[in-house]
């Protein structure tokens, strides 16, 4: 049986093709589901193993990034998503998708009650940031999207205006004790320091998971580094083959094959 992923799409989504390509590169069968249509038609996610919310500017980010998408998703699909998670399946939200997951309350969900505990807001710089960053990887994270063989540091591109992660000290303490912090902005050597923080996120947070490790949200774009040739300096650095970002998709597939199928 093939691993199947549903890519949720709505007005303003613009990273769906890159995300689809990354999944297909690791043998996943993908289908793009338009949010309004699945709500109208009463479709569910039962036949899929992974739900992905790609990056972009859903509904123009007119209220706040990801908020309208999140409200639609939880108003109409909350029970289906809860069932999906209870079956051990995976959800990933990238950039705008991360913003959606935070504003649904699915992340970080330290209480296990799916309530909003954090947000992603305007970068400290007040401007849209488009650059490559280095990330420290928490090898002890409970996330199903990384494993013990994952590199200690990786490089991925970011492209966002509202990437500053904010949460209370209480929620942050729970995230730390639960090993829910997955990626942090850092130096090339993995030193987590404010000078490497592009947006002002608390604790340099770039990506987190829920308590189960089944839901991952991150601001950087792993799908934009699924091939080494997507890196702007691939020639100078002598990069070939797969990009580091593809590891996230590979680990998702391995988890599904070993635990679900």
CATH for 4-259? 3.40.50.880
The answer to whether residue 43 is catalytic is: no
Q: How confident is the model at residue 112 (pLDDT cuts 50, 70, 90)?
A: confident
How would you classify the pairing of strands 153-160 and 164-167?
Answer: unpaired
Share of the chain above pLDDT 90, in %: 96
Per-domain boundaries in the chain? 4-259
**Taken in order 121, 151, 259, 23, is the CA torsion positive or negative?**
positive
The answer to whether residue 221 is catalytic is: yes
Angle at 150 between CA 185 and CA 228, to 5 degrees: 80
Exactly one of 95, 117, 162, 231 is catalytic; name it: 95
Angle, to 10 degrees, between the axis of helix 67-86 and the axis of helix 96-104? Answer: 70
Exactly one of 15, 49, 223, 231 is catalytic; name it: 223
pTM given for the model: 0.97
- The DSSP code for 235 is H
Q: How far is CA 258 from the centre of its chain?
A: 21
pLDDT of residue 111: 87
pLDDT of residue 67: 97
Compute φ and ψ for 116, nearest 5 degrees: -70, 120
CA distance 68 to 16: 18
CA distance 251 to 259: 12
**Cis peptide before 108, with omega less than 30 degrees from 0?**
yes
Exactly one of 49, 160, 221, 231 is catalytic; name it: 221
Share of the chain above pLDDT 70, in %: 100
């Amino acid at each position: 049986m093939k691993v199947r992923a549903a890519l949720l799409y709505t007005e303003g989504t613009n990273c769906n093709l890159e995300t689809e390509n990354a999944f297909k590169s690791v043998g996943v069968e993908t289908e793009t589901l338009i949010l309004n249509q699945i709500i109208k038609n009463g479709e569910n996610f039962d036949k899929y193993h992974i739900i992905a919310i790609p990056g972009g500017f859903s509904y123009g980010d007119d209220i706040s990034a990801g908020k309208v998408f999140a409200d639609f998703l939880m108003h109409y699909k909350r029970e289906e998503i809860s069932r999906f998670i209870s079956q051990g399946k995976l959800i990933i939200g990238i950039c705008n998708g991360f913003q959606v997951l935070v504003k649904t309350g699915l992340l970080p969900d330290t209480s296990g009650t799916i309530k909003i505990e954090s947000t992603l807001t305007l970068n400290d710089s007040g401007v849209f940031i488009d650059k490559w960053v280095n990330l420290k990887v928490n090898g002890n994270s409970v996330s199903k999207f990384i494993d013990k063989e994952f590199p200690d540091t990786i490089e991925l591109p970011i492209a966002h205006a509202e990437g500053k992660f904010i949460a209370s000290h209480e929620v942050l303490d729970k995230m730390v004790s639960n090993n829910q912090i997955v990626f942090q902005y850092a130096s090339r050597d993995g030193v987590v320091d404010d000078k490497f923080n592009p947006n002002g996120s608390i604790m340099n947070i770039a990506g987190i998971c829920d308590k189960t490790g089944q839901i991952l949200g991150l601001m950087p774009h792993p799908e934009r580094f699924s091939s080494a040739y997507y890196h702007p300096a691939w020639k100078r650095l002598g990069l070939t083959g797969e990009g580091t970002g593809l590891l996230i998709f590979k680990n998702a597939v391995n988890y599904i094959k070993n635990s679900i199928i």
